[in-house]
Amino acid sequence: MATAKAEKAAKIGAILDRLYPLPPIPLAHEDPFTLLVAVVLSAQCSDARVNEVAPRLFALARTPGQMAALPVARIQAAIRSCGLAPAKAKHIRALSQLLVERHGGQVPESFEELEALPGVGHKTASVVRVQAFGIPAFPVDTHIHRLAARWGLSSGRSVVQTERDLIALFPEATWGKRHLQLIYFGREHCPARGHDATACPICSWASAKRTPRPRPSLPA
C-alpha cells in the first residue's frame, strides 16, 4: 500500500511539474514582513483581493516599526475590503509591535517564534518559512487538504494529518513547489463543486473514490 501511494505521488508530481514548472508565489511581497502581513490578510480572502488591498496598507507602513506606530483604526480602514478586517487590523498591529520588541524589527524563522505572533498559525508560519526564507515546509490550505483526500494521499481527517502524509510522500526539496502547484491545480483543474473527474488530468486515474459496481440482475 505504501509503495502504491508513493508511486501515485510520484506520478502526480510529474503531472504538476509539466503543468506548473515554475509556479509563482501568488501573494505579492517585497520582504519577509510584507509577506507575513499578506498571508495574515489572505485568511478567508482571495489572493487577488489581498494583492489589491496590501499596497494601500504598505503605502502607509512598510516596516514593523512603522506599522506598530499606526492606530488600529487606520490599518482597518486600509484593509476594509478584505474579510475579517477588524481582527486582522488588530493582529497586524500587535504582531508588528512584537517584532519590534522581541526580534529587533525582523521576522523570525522558527515555527515557535512565528506561531507566537498574533494571527499567525501553523499554515501562515509554514508559508513564511518556505517562501520568505527557503526553509523546507509544506503549508496545507483548503485546496491541498481537499486534493490530498480526493486522491487518496491522506485520510482527510485533519490538515495536520494531511501535512504529515504529504511530507512523507514527496521529497523535501519539492515541498515548496508542490504546495504552490497544488494550489494552482485545485483552482484551475480540480474545484470542490461541479468537477468532472473524468476530464481531470489527475482525478481521472487517481481519485480515491470508486464507482460502485451495478448489482447483478436477479432471475425472474
The reported pTM is 0.88
Q: Catalytic residue, from 5, 47, 90, 141: name it.
A: 141
For residue 211, being part of any structural domain is answered with no
What does the pLDDT look like over 61-119, one tens digit per residue? 999 999 999 999 999 999 999 989 999 999 999 999 999 999 999 999 999 999 999 99
> Who has greater pLDDT, 83 or 125?
125
Is 17 labeled as catalytic in the residue annotation? no
Q: Catalytic residue, from 8, 88, 123, 177: name it.
A: 123
What does the pLDDT look like over 161-215, one tens digit per residue? 999 999 999 999 999 999 999 999 999 999 888 888 899 999 999 987 643 333 3
Domain stop point among 70, 105, 132:
132
Residue 171: give its domain's CATH number.
1.10.1670.10
Total domains present in the chain? 2
| In a shared domain, residues 46 and 118 | yes
> Who has greater pLDDT, 40 or 210?
40
For residue 110, being part of any structural domain is answered with yes
Contact 135, 109 (CB under 8 A): yes
For residue 213, being part of any structural domain is answered with no
| In a shared domain, residues 8 and 82 | no
Q: Which domain holds residue 178?
A: 2-23+138-206
Is 165 labeled as catalytic in the residue annotation? no
